[in-house]
Amino acid sequence: MFNLKSIILLLMVSFLAGCSSPWTNIHSYDREYGKTTKLIPQFNIPANGSYIMRRIVRPSEPNEIYMGLESSKDYVNVVDFWLELKQTSHGDYYRLHIIPQKLSKSITNQWKPWIIVKTPKPDSLFFPVKLPENFWAKADSGQIISEWFICDSCFKENPAKFTSMVQARSADTYAEGNKNWLFDFVETPTHKPNWSGNIEAREQQIQAELDAKEEEKQKKLDALAADLPPELRRDKYMVQLSTYLKKQDYKSALRIFPRLEALPVAQDPSLKFFYGEALLRTGSPQEALTKLYEYVNEQGRNATHYGKALKLINEAESQI
């Protein structure tokens, strides 16, 4: 039979074990944190340009982010920050993933609207991120994900560093050097991003504007060459087309094929093969099939690219 003292002792042991176990789990997870074999499948990290760090938040100081994990009752909120970088010919992009491991909404409700992510010295690049409105409602798979940003003024003194950070393999960036990154919540950053939004939409808009300018330029060149004999214009277009195809610039090549087909002269027997290939590589399998079928029907089994044409036909059919 248990006496009263034994029962009280058992209750105290259970209570203390219950209090300490979360910290045991956190410290255990922290030791495993640098192992990329665990992180990459968990967060679906891109192969390059990702920086992920674990931080803690005190309820008494919700806008202060701390680096270490300590066995203190104040440190009961654990959050991972994943800075994702991407670079294209049209911009240097970044966004922030906030991944709560153990985070109270009462703390995040007190967060200031901007968070500044700063790299370690001596570079000290900083990435201002505006938190999404009503971000808990928009959390995707347990993550709070910001918009993509461009902040040209943030990197103007060291643009090459951004490029090197994008090119760095993610597998090399988790455990090394992440402890010295700084996070500050602020009302208004010193430098604000000059763009935020959806990368795909921005890239498509810029590319459409560039394509329109290129098309207008081509029309002016066509007008200048209008008095040339058709044979000379064909040869001119073929040289231009060959340059694009060697570079695998199929989008630019697609501007040349219609001009060639419109000329009242005999065309290169392989023209429709290359037209079909360009259409397929730019996401138009149905139109590609039309050109490739015309090629094999007109040129027969002895066509120069007969075997390649059949492979492209099968590839196009698989995409429809």
Per-residue model confidence as pLDDT tens digits over 226-266: 889 999 999 999 999 999 999 999 999 999 999 999 999 99
**Domain range annotation of the chain:** 11-197, 228-318
Look at residue 123 in the predicted model and tell me its pLDDT: 73
Q: Taking 50 as the threshold, does the pLDDT of residue 41 lie above it?
A: yes
- pLDDT tens-digit map of 7-26: 445 444 444 434 433 333 33
Encoded amino acid at 162, one letter: F
Over residues 184-193, mean pLDDT:
92
Q: Taking 70 as the threshold, does the pLDDT of residue 84 lie above it?
A: yes
Q: How confident is the model at residue 291 (pLDDT cuts 50, 70, 90)?
A: very high
* Residue that wins the pLDDT comparison between 16 and 207: 207
Q: Taking 70 as the threshold, does the pLDDT of residue 49 lie above it?
A: yes
Q: How confident is the model at residue 40 (pLDDT cuts 50, 70, 90)?
A: low
Look at residue 30 in the predicted model and tell me its pLDDT: 44
pTM for the structure as a whole: 0.69
Element (H or E) spanning 25, and its range? helix 4-32
| Least confident window among 87-91, 98-102, 253-257 | 98-102
User: Rounded CA gap, 119 and 123, in Å?
Assistant: 7
User: Rounded CA gap, 194 and 149, in Å?
Assistant: 8
Q: How confident is the model at residue 6 (pLDDT cuts 50, 70, 90)?
A: low
| pLDDT over 70, % of the chain | 78
Look at residue 275 in the predicted model and tell me its pLDDT: 96
User: Rounded CA gap, 297 and 281, in Å?
Assistant: 21
Q: Taking 90 as the threshold, does the pLDDT of residue 65 lie above it?
A: no
Look at residue 273 in the predicted model and tell me its pLDDT: 96
Over residues 178-182, mean pLDDT:
71
CB 112 within 8 A of CB 98: no
The Cβ-side half-sphere exposure at 256, using a 13 Å CA radius, reads 24
Residue 26 CA: distances (Å) to CA of 29, 33, 83, 197, 248: 5, 10, 22, 35, 51
Look at residue 21 in the predicted model and tell me its pLDDT: 31
Alpha helix ranges (H) inside 181-320:
199-224, 230-246, 250-253, 257-262, 271-281, 285-299, 306-318
| Least confident window among 106-120, 174-188, 267-281 | 174-188
Tell me what the pLDDT averaged over the chain comes to. Answer: 81
Q: Indicate left, alpha or beta for 88 from its phi (over 0: left) and psi (-120 to 50: alpha).
A: beta
Look at residue 54 in the predicted model and tell me its pLDDT: 77
Chain centroid offset of residue 222 CA:
38
CATH superfamily of 228-318: Tetratricopeptide repeat domain (1.25.40.10)
Q: Taking 80 as the threshold, does the pLDDT of residue 162 lie above it?
A: yes
Over residues 31-44, mean pLDDT:
50
| Least confident window among 70-74, 132-136, 274-278, 290-294 | 70-74
Look at residue 33 in the predicted model and tell me its pLDDT: 44
Look at residue 31 in the predicted model and tell me its pLDDT: 39
User: Rounded CA gap, 94 and 100, in Å?
Assistant: 20
Look at residue 22 in the predicted model and tell me its pLDDT: 34
Q: Taking 90 as the threshold, does the pLDDT of residue 279 lie above it?
A: yes
Q: What is the DSSP letter of 234?
A: H
Both tokens assigned to 42: 């968990």
